[in-house]
Amino acid sequence: MNYPGSMMNPKFEGGTCLISGSRSSSCTNGQIAQYGVNATTPALVQAGMKLVRQYDLKMVVLNTGHDYLGRNTGAGSFMIWTHYLRGLQYSPSFVPVGAPAGTQGQQGITAAAGEYAKTIYDFAASRNLVVVGGAGMSSPCGIFL
């Protein structure tokens, strides 16, 4: 989880650089992105996306590696690594951007992409709220502040 090239399901890594391999053999990165940004702030996410557009790169988003379909991998891609993008915000009267005029606000929590499910659940419980989510306590959320 704490390394950008480490997937939860190793079959999506697909590299050929094995520790038991010959020193003279060549190896590949497999499906692990060759470029990326450790997006610890929304500004770094934006900067990474600017590079993707500028150089017409394939972009993947990786948090903790929890994608058993392999959508967070891609040979030659640019990775937006959100694992350390943290932050929780409570709003007593949340109204989504673009909601119809007059929409009544509701209590809500906004969680940054790198927050763990358990941290979010504890934050919600301390405010007498419930968050519906996954069972994995290390699973990330996917909402930017």
pTM for this structure? 0.71
**What confidence score (pLDDT) does residue 117 get?**
85
pLDDT digits (tens, 9 = 90+) for 55-88: 999 999 888 766 767 777 888 889 999 999 999 9
**89: pLDDT strictly greater than 90:** yes
* 77/91 same-domain check: no
Residues 61 and 98 grouped into a single domain: no
Q: Which residue has the higher pLDDT, 37 or 141?
A: 37
DSSP collapsed to 3 states, 37-79: EECCCHHHHHHHHHHHHHHCCCEEEECCCCCCCCCCCCCCCEE
pLDDT tens string 92-116: 999 999 999 999 999 999 999 888 8
- Asked, for residue 23, whether it belongs to a domain, the answer is no
How many domains is the chain built from? Answer: 2
**In this structure, are residues 101 and 82 in contact, taking their beta carbons and an 8 Å threshold?**
no
Q: Rounded to an integer, what distance in angstroms lies between the CA atom of residue 50 and that of residue 55?
A: 9
CATH of the domain at 39: 3.30.43.10
Pair (60, 6) in one structural domain: yes
Same domain, 93 and 133: yes
The domain boundary, picked from 52, 84, 116, lies at 84
Q: Do 91 and 125 reside in the same domain of the chain?
A: yes
- Domain containing 33 equals 1-11+29-84
